[in-house]
Structure formats: C-alpha cells, structure tokens
Structure 1
Amino acid sequence: MLNLKEQCRIHWNWKDGTFEDKVLIRHSTKQMPWMQFDCSERRLWLSTRNHIQCYRVNQKGHLYEDYSRKLRGPKDDISKFCTKDGLTVCGTRDGSVCGWHSEKSQLLFHYHKISRSEIQAVDFYRDVVISGSRDSTIKMMSMAYHEVENNNQILKTLKAGDRVWSLAVAPDGSTFASGSGGRYEESPLLLWDFATASVICPLESRHRRGAGVLDIKYESPQTLLTCGYDTSVRLWDTRTHSCVASWCEPFDSAIYCLDSDQHMSIVTGTARYGMTRLWDKRKTFPVQMYYTGQQSSPVYSLAFNSRHLYVALDLSLNMLDFTR
C-alpha cells in the first residue's frame, strides 16, 4: 500500500504525462491482440494468434508468464475473449467459440464455425455465452462442459441488422448491449433483455452513418460506457435509455477501446500512433494524452491501475510506468 506522499506524486505524474515507456512483449508479425487485466489476482491475459497467455504481475508492473495457464484449442486466430469467474471464453476469426477452465487450462467446449464469418465480440453470464459476428447475427449458446465438440448448443440466433463489433453483459445478467457498424439507418447501439433475448430499445436515435460502436463496458447494472468511430466516449443510463454524459476526442480519431476504474477515471485508446487519453468524468476536456510504442499503431486494447497503464499494439505490449 502506497503512503500518501507516493500517491500524490504518482497522481501528478499521470496529470503531467510523466512516465517511462517499457516494452514488455514483442511480436514478430503484426497482430490485433486483446487483453484483460484481473486486478484482484494480479494477472494479465493476452491473446496471441490462436492462444491466450496468462502473466503474473509483480508490484513493479512487470510480467511473468504462467505457462501452466496457457489456453490452447482454436485453429484460427482469436479475435476477442472474456475471462471471469474462473472461466475464459473466446471467439475466433473462423466463426468458432471456445471455453476453458482458466485455472486448469482445460478446454471445456469448442463450437466449431457457429457463425458464417469471424466473431468480433463475446461475453457470458453463468452458463450462457453470447457472441457477435460480422455476419450481423448474435448467437446465444449454452456451455456444455461434458462435450468438447458440439454444434447443437445454440439457444437463439438474433438479427443485429449490421455487423457486430462489440458486446457486453450487465454484471447482474439483466441486460446486454450490442454495438454494430452503424452503416444503416438503425441505431448501432441496442439494449437487449438477457432472459428473453428481445430488444428493449435502441440507445441512440440519431447517429452519423458509419459511427459504429467498437467497445462497451458496463460500470454497473444500470450504466455503461461506449466508444467507437464517432470519436466519442458516451455514458448511458439503462433506466432512462439515454446518454447522460459524453467526451469527444480532440483529434477526431476513432476510439478503439476503453477502460474505467469504476469511479471517475476513464482511459481510451485511439486508432493512430499508439495514443491513449486519460479522462475525468467531472471534466469536459481530457486530463492528459500519452504516446507509446513510437509507431503508427492503433491501440487494440488497454488496462490500467493506479500505477501502470498497459497498452496492446500491433507489434508489442507496452507498459507506461507512472511510478518513476
């Protein structure tokens, strides 16, 4: 636990943009990696090609690979994954969905090519998995632990109206939100009832053509954050079905991903130059911007805590260390 003096010093480092950029992992070829950070267990999960690697994070933020928890199984590259409650579920570029017991690295199921196109989003709640694909469908599936290969576990197939870029289930499993490409007249952001798999309402009545939603994060069962090609972060209240706050990217760049501390801080990753931004919900303009990697790469995913910011680029995983 940091003392108050250290907390204050690190706070000003974030605000002033004072950090040390460290390359933790290098890739030999360009990739579109996805990352998830488990703060409670100090573990970072990172997808690389067709497997997911687990890293232990020490107090200084450095990574040590846990080879016993390397998740293998898919034949094609992993596009997105979700890990929680001791389970990890992923979607792949050949339209398949896989699930593992995270601690044992045991493959629990592999639904082979359940979608006609690559799966861009995946999430789950209890024993139900949802996936979104470029073929404009959302699949709801049952986890069948007793069968590894089975294509008959699809509970429902939902029409999203456009290619699906993002999905997220509310923490209490009451609703889920889907973000699509926004190429047509229909809203790119839909709120669904998880139990009935029916649309509750669109969360955006007026949108620019092509303003797709690339990332969704629930902060509570009633609030969620979104970002995408409209170059803005938006906070939505599912009780009033309205946008209650928004923050616009000053450089008019698409926002690929976001993360939140569940309080006042938001960090976003943009489409160019490895640029991330720190936002305070109480302010209109960003607190600070950070460039990392010294390359013209989108930020495909990110995660942060009070000391460090992890940024997944096409050729590396970088850490911004604000303790220096």
Structure 2
Amino acid sequence: MILLQLPEDVLYHILSYLDYRSLSRLSQVCKSIYRFVNRDAVWRRIAKEFLNTGISRDGTDIYPHIPLKERVKIAQNWCNGVCKRAIPLKWKTKLLPWLQLEGDVLFLSQAADIRAYHLRQDSGRLQRNPFEIYSGHSGDVCHFVLTDSHLISGGSDGKILVHSRTSDMSVELSGHNQEVNCLDSKDELIISGSRDRTTRIWTLTSTYPRDTIPMYDRVWSVAISPTLSSFVTGTACCENFSPLRLWDVERLECVCSLGSEFRRGAGVLDMVFESPFQLFTCGYDTFIRLWDLRISPQKCVMEWEEPHDSALYCIQTDGNHMIASGSSYYGVVRLWDKRQTECLQFFQLSSDPVSSPVYCLRFSSTHLYAALATALHLLDFRQNPIYIR
C-alpha cells in the first residue's frame, strides 16, 4: 500500500520501467493496484512497441474504445500467429473481389454488386444478409473506395459510379472506355486509372473528368497523398519508364519517377500512403517497398521480399510497425514487422490445386479478412494470450 501513496506521476515513472509480463504480475497484488495498472496511460508506451495495437507512429489512437491492456494481449497473438480460422462466405463463380472495412461493417464486391454486412461482435462473422447493396454496373466491380458520404466504384464496364451513403441516389461518371482497375478519393477529389492507359481526375460536382493524363501503359493502382496536393500512379511496367510516378494535382505534371530498376512486367498492383511522405507499394516483382518522398531524388528506403517469389496483390499497414500482404499463390497472407526484413508470420488460406491470389485484405485490431476467388476468409486473433491475464 506504500506504493499507492506515491504521487501518480512518480508511480507512472516507476511503472514505465516494467515490461508487459511484470505489469501483469503486479496487477495481481491487490484490487487498488489492479485498477491503477489497468489504466491506458500505463500501457501506452508498451502498446507502441507491439503490432496492430491501434497506436500509430504519431501517437494517434485508432481504437480508443478498447482498453490498451486488452489490445496488447491480442497483439501477442498477431506476433505469434495464434488465431482461429473461418470461412464466413463462399460463392461458386470465380471473382476478383474487393474489400473495405469500416468499424463493424464490411463492404464486399461480388460480381456487379457491392454488399455491406454488419459484423457480429462475438465472432467477427458477417450477419446473414447484407443491410445494403450498391449496384449499377453492367460488368464486375474491379475496385471501390469509401468516403464519409459516398461509395465510389469502378467496373469492368468502364464506368465509375458514385453512390450516396445517405440516400438511394447514384451518379455515373463517363470517360474511360475500358475497365477501371483502380481509384482513390479524398475530399471530393477522385483519381481513376484504367486499362485504356489513362489516368483521369474527377470531382464530385461533375460527371465528366476534369483532366485526363495519357499514361501510355495500363494503370493498375493509384493513391492520393493525405495532403491532397499530389497523387501516385502505378502502371503495368510494359514500357520503358518507371511504373511509379508522382504527380502534382493542380499542374498535372509528373513531379518525379520513383525507382529506375524495375524489370519489364513488374507492375505495381497496390499502394498505400502511411503519411504525406511515406508510401508503401507492392506488385509483380514480389517486393513490398517503402518510399520516402522527402528525399530528393525520392528513393526506396526499405524493402521486404516475398520469400516464395510470388506476386503481391495487396497490402495494408497499421500505421506503426505491421504490414499485412496478400500473395498470388495458395491464398498466402503474410504479416511483417517493419523493424525486420524477414516475414514474421504467414497463413496459407487455400489448398486448392488451382490456387487463388489474395485479391484484397483488411484488418482491425482483432480480425483479418481476406478475399480470394471463391471465398472470404476470416482470421480471429482473440485467443487466450500466454502471458497477460
């Protein structure tokens, strides 16, 4: 009890020297110490060192409603690969599905429709029926993004549809004459890329493109910078220039090319901005790359190689230490710690003779969802941890 008589700032300082095992043992001494040790302020430093606890590099807390001690428990399972697997949804026809996860709602494209499912809190599985279906494409949906007010989708029919999330209204954007492989949207700005070798810039106030950039190659991926002043395009790398280029939104000029040693066909399939100056990319060349856009000339500052020489179809980061990637063979999902070059954990989701890529994956602090050609797979990491009780 003498310990609890110390000023709180002194007690916090003392506890900062303890690791998570010692904190857990200390919390078992008595109820008063248990209540103090369970405070988020005690666990914040430790949470920053674990994977996928929701504490980003700049200190932002993505999941403030979940106690940090609980998140550190679950983070041990991500590190150790301890999870329960399930297949909450199957379909007969082979598709190229795409996912978005927003809180307790999962959006999944299946053929020409995008279905929104509530997730069950007890298991992370989908509710039996979708509560919303977004339709309107005459071909398969290739890609879609969410904003606060809209769901924006691109299809194999060359259309871009802007669906309102608060009403039944949808608007068609006309411009591309082949499938829309990729798009991104922030603050009423839309960037799309197509097999027709163009990138188009749109606004939500017009049904026709504001500008068109000829790319001279198929466009596989795009990403808008958080600053909204620039965007990056990733192409199929079938021509004699870098598949990664950074563009100025207003001037529509290529600011720079990222990298110069891509082999022919090493197209970039997915990319994500983690900050205004940090860009992660992946693709056919089997590497995840981190680009620092503050350096001139911009260059790759770190890379992670898929050990089985598989193309990487998709990536997502937790904003701190973890990267999750989806491979082209046997539905392999890998977890990476940015502080290491070797893969941390991998999960083979498919054993079919004709393997399927992981076309898209999304994760929360407790679950990972991966979309393959004929099924949606679920990894639940809420198992009993070894060290923290």
Identify whether the pair has TM-score above 0.5, normalized to the shorter chain.
Answer: yes
Q: Does 1:176 align with 2:231?
A: yes
Which of 106, 114, 117 is the equivalent residue of 1:44?
A: 106
Q: Does 1:18 align with 2:66?
A: no
**Map 1:226-265 → 2, pairs under 5 A:** 226-240=281-295, 241-265=298-322
Q: TM-score, normalised by structure 1?
A: 0.91
Runs of 4+ residues deviating >4 angstroms: 6-9, 65-68
Which of 360, 365, 373 is the equivalent residue of 1:301?
A: 360
Cα deviation per residue 1:170-219 (whole Å; 9 max; x = unaligned)?
Answer: 12211111000011210000111112221100011221111110001011
Q: Does 1:216 align with 2:271?
A: yes
Structure ID, larger Rg: 2
Partner of 1:34: 98
Partner of 1:290: 347
Q: Which protein has the bigger helix share?
A: 2
Structure 1 residue 275 displacement after superposition: 0.3
Partner of 1:310: 369
Structure 1 residue 85 displacement after superposition: 1.9
Write the distance in 1 (CA, Å) between the matches of 2:149 and 2:350: 32
Contact 2:117 2:131 in 1 (8 A): no
**Map 1:113-132 → 2, pairs under 5 A:** 114-132=175-193
Structure 1 residue 293 displacement after superposition: 3.8
Structure 1 residue 76 displacement after superposition: 1.5
Q: Secondary structure at the match of 2:271?
A: strand
Q: Which protein has the bigger strand share?
A: 1
Q: TM-score, normalised by structure 2?
A: 0.77
Identity across the alignment (%): 37
Partner of 1:75: 138
**Unpaired segments of 5 or more residues in structure 1?**
none
Partner of 1:135: 196
Write the distance in 2 (CA, Å) between the matches of 1:250 and 1:68: 40
Partner of 2:172: 110
Contact 2:203 2:209 in 1 (8 A): yes
One-letter identity of the residue aligned with 1:231: T
Contact 1:23 1:293 in 2 (8 A): no
Q: Does 1:98 align with 2:157?
A: no
Aligned length in residues: 313
Contact 2:118 2:130 in 1 (8 A): no
Contact 2:189 2:204 in 1 (8 A): yes
Write the distance in 2 (CA, Å) between the matches of 1:309 and 1:133: 29
Structure 1 residue 69 displacement after superposition: 2.8
One-letter identity of the residue aligned with 2:82: T
Change (3 A) 1:8 1:67: closer
Structure 1 residue 126 displacement after superposition: 2.4
Cα deviation per residue 1:139-173 (whole Å; 9 max; x = unaligned)?
Answer: 1123237xxxx5xx121110122100001111221
**Map 1:185-224 → 2, pairs under 5 A:** 185-224=240-279
Contact 2:118 2:131 in 1 (8 A): no
